[in-house]
Structure 1
Amino acid sequence: MKHSVQYEINRLVEKLTNEQLLDGSWNYPFETGITTDAYMIILLRTLEIDDEKLIQALVKRILSKQEENGVWKLFYDEEEGNLSETIVAYYALLYSGYLNENSMHLERPKQFILSNGGLEKGSMFLKIMLALTGQYPWPKRFPVPIETFLIPVSFPINFYDFSVYARANLTPIILLGNKKFQMKTDASPDLSNLYKQQRYEEDPIIEFNRKFEWQAFIKQLIQGLSSIVGKKDGLKKKSIEHAEQYMLTHLEPDGTFYSYFSSTFFMIFALMSIGYSKTHPTILKAVEGLKSMACEVEGELHIQYTTANVWNTSLIGYAMQEAGVSDEEEVIQRANNYLLTKQHYKFGDWVINNTNILPGGWGFSNINTINPDVDDTTASLRALLPMIMKHPQYLQVWNRGLHWTLSMQNEDGGWPAFERNVDKKLIRQLPVQGKELLLLDPSTADLTGRTLEFLCGSTNLNYDHPVIKRGIKWMENDQRKDGSWYGRWGICYIYGTWSALTGLRACGVSTQSNTIKKAVHWLESIQNDDGGWGESCYSDIYKRYIPLEESTLTHTAWALDSLIAVSSKPTRVIDHGIEYLIKNGNEQSWKTAYPKGQGMGRAFYIHYHSYRYIWPLLTLGHYKKKYL
């Protein structure tokens, strides 16, 4: 076993070393299906930007992802197909001009769309995109008035009570919805034959619970604001100006809005709705920013939702060091030097709910300068720790990152992704599609577990520190009855349980505690006969563990790393899992491309191309360090 483990570690280290970029980072793709590819075609055609080479490449990729039954899926085991993904693929292929509705590739998708309810049953974001490109009616009254932007921060509910992801996407959407902006071209397709029934002018697109009386609540606020600002027309003008400035002041250097594809896409149309021409420098730079997210996946061009260079680099650097690569090696030095350049020194929106702390976090992408997150910060600090211990001149980097991380703890004891205490009960009453993932940024087991693991494993904090005690208590309260934890940013319960167990053990929670024993029993009970583990994206949709019925390298590594953390010696379960990792390390199949991350159930899943190397390497390194 010892020889086999070391051989696989060496193989993974060599591969990662060879694929490092000159700047020290790793740019493995952040793959998210075909939605961004389709949106890019729609954007270029709507703006009448002549880039046929790009459009042709994206058409090729979209067609390559079409299933035998003619539909498109978000993940391999999605049973019939995904309606919204199929609609957007159909629309983009038509708009490209390289296919027509009688093309063999579009006949079966059309029937699938109609048999599953038509455009009316599409997702919220899809309907909004269709509305602004003239394929779907805006409601007569958009449910969120433009004046919402002016609600003061001091009010019980305000703009900054929504997650940063919600603000980034809803700011342009609210502006577009209130303007009822639509933009068509002579080349725009006609999708009216995809309506299952007659068009509904009153389709609200974003639905709110009438029992909550949202409209009445907003109306009273607007009346109050009007008495302060003056005439209602003046209030609307100020609201539009506020939305415009929010978008412009949150542009990244590459021109994208918050470095996200969706928010930038909607921002482009929102700015045009208030008078920007389609050739305005801000519009053109945003388009170029989106184009720069292109990467190659299996020989085809894919437009990423964002880039993942910082995340990849911090995780790879740490995993390599845990597997025995010295921080004096060139590959680690280059990675660490890259990470040092990516620490944030700008204040972002996070300061609204977290005052009196200096910037010091890290963001996810290489273009992110204003939106740090807890996960990337702790991951970067883990990777940098050996270097910082040897070179005191970098102590300020460490202190800023550590203090920022500590300051981000929520009042409930857990940690969020981006901003503190963005989890108001009032927001939870809004029945917006995917509200938990779109509107809120609550404490989660994956963020809290890994933050605890970092604090107890890489700093002098321990079980007795108040911050750690509160975090442990939150984790214990969040455990499911079966012993697992739900992981917000991965798939899903294996992921959350791995984060929780490694964090709790790092903090000194006894392996004999009921919390640990229940989790271990659950993990062991779901091991597959081949020694591995696998979990379906359906777990995210149904909020309960759904087995994939096949093992994956990443899920297996997460489960094993959990068990290694709580086992003083290797067990039969652990060794069987290690054998799976070694035997299948070179596997190329749908399982290696299966999503391991998620953004929003039924809408947004992520295939991290780096994960099949990172997590097996980390797990094998921990196995070697502890047992061999």
Structure 2
Amino acid sequence: MPNPSKNLIVLPSAQPEVSESYSATDQEIARAIARAQENLLRQQKPDGHWCGELIVDSTLCSDYILFMHWCREVDAQLQRRCIRHILKRQLPDGGWNIYHGGPSEINASVKAYFALKLAGCSADAPFMREARANIMRRGGIPQMNTFSKLYLALLGQFPWKYLPAIPVEMILLPSWAPFHIYKMSSWSRAMLMPLSIINHFKPTRILPGEKQLHELYPLGTEQADLRLPRSEKFWTWRNFFLRVDDCFKFLRPLRILPLRRRALEEAERWMLERIGEGSDGLAAVYPAMLNCLIALRALGYTKTNPVYAKAEKDFAELFVDNPEDFRIQPCLSPVWDTAISIISLAESGVSPEHPALQKAVDWLIGKEVRIRGDWAVNNPYPQASGWAFEYNNIYYPDTDDTGMVLMALRLVQPKDGESLNELFRRALGWQLSFQCRDGGWGAFDKNVTTPWLEDMPFADHNAILDPTCSDLTARTLELLGYIGFDRRAKCVRDAINYLIDTQDEDGSWYGRWGVNYIYGTWQVLRGLRAIGEDMTQDWILRGRDWLETCQNSDGSWGETCATYENPGAKGIGESTASQTAWAVMGICACGDLDRPSIQRGLRYLLRSQKPDGSWDEEQITGTGFPGVFYLKYDMYRQNFPLLALATYVNYRSGLGHRPSFYRCDR
């Protein structure tokens, strides 16, 4: 293993006016950086990439048990391991939550209870009675979201007539129609297309009485009105969509849906195209992949069919086969983890010619997406490029991964400078083409922001749109600043105005893809500094000041997923290494490195680093669907603290950031 400590830069002495009780010494930081570098290098895969685990709640194991029983193909050993996983996560109040330290949540709790019951756990067992009481206190099955109820319907535990129709004909709607599938977010599209097939066939399995869930309906299943509630006002988009839903349900038994067969064929073709070569499953993400398996079975694909066999194999790649605690990941994160690890190592002084970085960059370059995927419907940019989050997901590159990858590639000495320039021009043009009307960037699509779609009956997963967000916009600004853009570019001015418009009154910014306001605020401040904005402006310093107001007494920062539903809790939470790193970088971006908040934050990171160079972190700091699904990136506790220490060192040395091997020749 190469010795990364040889590549560390020399640290200048801290300013003498800093209190000794706060100041982190150069030697301490250098040693911490060396340990963190060595920790990352140890985890690099033989082909050059990194991929940490994505850790989530119990719902994935619960859903998988439901799926096995729906298929009538129960792997007894795998079921036992899933049950152990679920029981291990039951809370003292009997329920299950969707993030570490969070309260019991109705969807997670019902799914866990149902999975346990299907697996043979007695409803009279103490842990089942506690779970049942918790669920009933929360209103029972009627309070679940639409997607969760659909899984119950597949096993005969929720009436199909009360579920909103997901008409498969929507795939035939033209792009000029007020609604079509490409006006939804990519992840909603990937979930809903197989669900529309399932909704047509309604392939229901009948369970024996002892497996059913009648006890989770407060008013029983016969007399209860389980329809989705209408708005009190007569005219609202919600009421309009519910009336349209009633029309679909009226027409279905009359068999006067002339386009149904053609729509089913087109939906099947659409799905098969996206699970074939170049894809690790539909959108390479758990919910869509599971729905796809069910839809394929409903269409008549057998277990031995090559198409189904590939889909099943791709799905099994999400399993973490740990004998102590079997887990299922929502997706895999190699591109994201590799890009951040390269940046952290390079910014912390590892040579741009280091073999580990060279190998990592070669791996990333090989993952560029060169086909026009779903994004091309809303974005006419002619040249395909970009990177996806996962190993293979060619239809769904995204701007977040692309921005992070380009920031990594700029830091490493290219073997072929001309090839790098060509790749950068292509990928940068692709990234810039996604700037939306309001000046910001969304993740997977351009201008998928039609607000009335959020009132569609099947849109209660809180993610039907792909709106612009401050964190993605600021990350793109950061990239642009590093490669030579400044305020003279219209795209930069529009993005800065977007960030001004989206700042909260207290100075913070919302974080769409990380928890939460700490994540958003850090990324905005870092992006503004990189683009050359005057960091002494009042509106910018308000962001720094907000970060300082929520520093914990031990010098750290922490914030929970609860802030997505209760903004009053913003900036409050148990200490985490990743959020402390983000906050330190955000405050550093505003200058004055001797501020007590920075020094206390550094002290926390130095004090909490483990001997192996990593940091502990139980809390979830990644966001999937706000209010619905969160995930813990295991690499965040390892690469972001290193990047924070490197950022402080580089700013204090006057370097700012490492020079780029690519500069835009605008």
On whether the aligned pair clears a TM of 0.5, the verdict is yes
Q: In the alignment, does 2:109 pair up with 1:86? A: yes
Structure 1 Cα separation of the partners of residues 407 and 522 of structure 2: 17
1:106-185 pair list within 5 angstroms: 106-139=128-161, 142-184=164-206
Closer, same or farther in 2 for the Cα pair 1:316/1:370, shift >3 Å? same
1:54-453 pair list within 5 angstroms: 54-79=78-103, 81-97=104-120, 99-139=121-161, 142-184=164-206, 189-199=211-221, 203-204=226-227, 211-212=236-237, 213-214=240-241, 232-253=256-277, 256-277=281-302, 279-295=304-320, 299-387=324-412, 391-392=416-417, 393-430=419-456, 434=460, 437-453=462-478
Closer, same or farther in 2 for the Cα pair 1:116/1:258, shift >3 Å? same
Ranges in structure 1 where 5+ consecutive residues have no aligned partner: 223-230
Residue 264 of structure 2 aligns to which amino acid in structure 1? I
Q: Which sits farther off after the overlay, 305-314 or 205-214?
A: 205-214
Tell me if the contact between 2:608 and 2:615 (Cα under 8 Å) persists in the aligned partners.
Answer: no
Q: In the alignment, does 2:543 pair up with 1:519? A: yes
Residue 33 of structure 2 aligns with which residue? 9
Tell me if the contact between 1:139 and 1:202 (Cα under 8 Å) persists in the aligned partners.
Answer: no
Q: How many residues align?
A: 617
Structure 2 Cα separation of the partners of residues 315 and 397 of structure 1: 19
Tell me if the contact between 2:293 and 2:311 (Cα under 8 Å) persists in the aligned partners.
Answer: yes
Q: Which sits farther off after the overlay, 149-158 or 196-205?
A: 196-205
Closer, same or farther in 2 for the Cα pair 1:613/1:141, shift >3 Å? closer
Cα displacement string for residues 434-461 of structure 1 (whole angstroms, at most 9, x for unaligned residues): 46x411111100100111001111x221
Closer, same or farther in 2 for the Cα pair 1:506/1:422, shift >3 Å? same
What percent of counterpart residues are identical?
30
Tell me if the contact between 2:55 and 2:633 (Cα under 8 Å) persists in the aligned partners.
Answer: yes
Structure 1 position 275, deviation (Å): 3.3
Structure 1 Cα separation of the partners of residues 397 and 384 of structure 2: 9
1:477-496 pair list within 5 angstroms: 477-496=501-520
Structure 1 position 120, deviation (Å): 1.3
Structure 1 position 603, deviation (Å): 2.1
Residue 578 of structure 2 aligns with which residue? 554
Residue 251 of structure 1 aligns to which amino acid in structure 2? I
Tell me if the contact between 2:381 and 2:433 (Cα under 8 Å) persists in the aligned partners.
Answer: no
Structure 1 Cα separation of the partners of residues 56 and 226 of structure 2: 28
Structure 2 Cα separation of the partners of residues 103 and 279 of structure 1: 39
Tell me if the contact between 2:517 and 2:571 (Cα under 8 Å) persists in the aligned partners.
Answer: no
Tell me if the contact between 1:30 and 1:306 (Cα under 8 Å) persists in the aligned partners.
Answer: yes
Structure 1 position 485, deviation (Å): 0.5
Tell me if the contact between 2:610 and 2:616 (Cα under 8 Å) persists in the aligned partners.
Answer: no
Structure 1 position 123, deviation (Å): 2.4
Residue 419 of structure 1 aligns to which amino acid in structure 2? D
Residue 542 of structure 1 aligns with which residue? 566
Q: In the alignment, does 2:629 pair up with 1:604? A: yes
Secondary structure (helix, strand or coil) at the match of 1:181 reads: coil
Tell me if the contact between 1:146 and 1:236 (Cα under 8 Å) persists in the aligned partners.
Answer: yes
Residue 18 of structure 1 aligns with which residue? 42
Closer, same or farther in 2 for the Cα pair 1:67/1:426, shift >3 Å? closer
Q: In the alignment, does 2:636 pair up with 1:614? A: no
Structure 1 position 332, deviation (Å): 1.1
Structure 2 Cα separation of the partners of residues 64 and 110 of structure 1: 17
Structure 1 position 429, deviation (Å): 4.6
Tell me if the contact between 2:242 and 2:457 (Cα under 8 Å) persists in the aligned partners.
Answer: no
Q: Which sits farther off after the overlay, 64-73 or 294-303?
A: 294-303
Q: In the alignment, does 2:609 pair up with 1:582? A: no
Closer, same or farther in 2 for the Cα pair 1:585/1:84, shift >3 Å? same
Secondary structure (helix, strand or coil) at the match of 1:605 reads: strand
Structure 1 position 266, deviation (Å): 1.5
Structure 1 Cα separation of the partners of residues 145 and 128 of structure 2: 20
Tell me if the contact between 1:137 and 1:201 (Cα under 8 Å) persists in the aligned partners.
Answer: no
Residue 250 of structure 1 aligns to which amino acid in structure 2? R
Q: Which sits farther off after the overlay, 604-613 or 586-595?
A: 586-595
Cα displacement string for residues 108-148 of structure 1 (whole angstroms, at most 9, x for unaligned residues): 11221122211111222211111122221112674443322
Ranges in structure 2 where 5+ consecutive residues have no aligned partner: 1-24, 250-254, 654-666
Secondary structure (helix, strand or coil) at the match of 2:575 reads: strand
Structure 1 position 326, deviation (Å): 1.2
Secondary structure (helix, strand or coil) at the match of 1:276 reads: coil
Structure 2 Cα separation of the partners of residues 422 and 322 of structure 1: 35
Query: Normalised by the size of structure 2, how large is the TM-score?
Result: 0.87
Closer, same or farther in 2 for the Cα pair 1:188/1:138, shift >3 Å? farther
Secondary structure (helix, strand or coil) at the match of 1:152 reads: coil
Secondary structure (helix, strand or coil) at the match of 2:274 reads: coil
Structure 2 Cα separation of the partners of residues 388 and 349 of structure 1: 33
Structure 2 Cα separation of the partners of residues 303 and 121 of structure 1: 26
Structure 2 Cα separation of the partners of residues 332 and 294 of structure 1: 28
Structure 1 Cα separation of the partners of residues 495 and 621 of structure 2: 25
Cα displacement string for residues 357-379 of structure 1 (whole angstroms, at most 9, x for unaligned residues): 21210001113222101110111
Residue 138 of structure 1 aligns to which amino acid in structure 2? W
Structure 1 position 560, deviation (Å): 0.5
Closer, same or farther in 2 for the Cα pair 1:205/1:17, shift >3 Å? farther
Structure 1 position 425, deviation (Å): 3.3
Residue 399 of structure 1 aligns to which amino acid in structure 2? R
Cα displacement string for residues 525-565 of structure 1 (whole angstroms, at most 9, x for unaligned residues): 11111111111111112244434442211111111101111
Closer, same or farther in 2 for the Cα pair 1:388/1:152, shift >3 Å? farther
Residue 542 of structure 1 aligns to which amino acid in structure 2? N
Tell me if the contact between 1:207 and 1:432 (Cα under 8 Å) persists in the aligned partners.
Answer: no
Residue 71 of structure 2 aligns to which amino acid in structure 1? L
Structure 1 position 432, deviation (Å): 5.5
Structure 2 Cα separation of the partners of residues 219 and 82 of structure 1: 30
Structure 1 position 348, deviation (Å): 0.6
Tell me if the contact between 1:408 and 1:415 (Cα under 8 Å) persists in the aligned partners.
Answer: yes
Structure 1 position 179, deviation (Å): 3.5
Residue 270 of structure 1 aligns to which amino acid in structure 2? A
Structure 2 Cα separation of the partners of residues 460 and 333 of structure 1: 23
Structure 2 Cα separation of the partners of residues 370 and 143 of structure 1: 26
Tell me if the contact between 1:131 and 1:182 (Cα under 8 Å) persists in the aligned partners.
Answer: yes
| Residue from 478, 482, 488 that aligns with 1:464 | 488
Structure 2 Cα separation of the partners of residues 122 and 368 of structure 1: 31
Structure 2 Cα separation of the partners of residues 490 and 377 of structure 1: 17
Secondary structure (helix, strand or coil) at the match of 2:98 reads: coil
Structure 1 Cα separation of the partners of residues 433 and 111 of structure 2: 41
Closer, same or farther in 2 for the Cα pair 1:114/1:430, shift >3 Å? same
Residue 32 of structure 2 aligns to which amino acid in structure 1? E
Residue 420 of structure 1 aligns to which amino acid in structure 2? K
Structure 2 Cα separation of the partners of residues 89 and 205 of structure 1: 23
Residue 43 of structure 1 aligns with which residue? 67
Structure 2 Cα separation of the partners of residues 602 and 141 of structure 1: 21
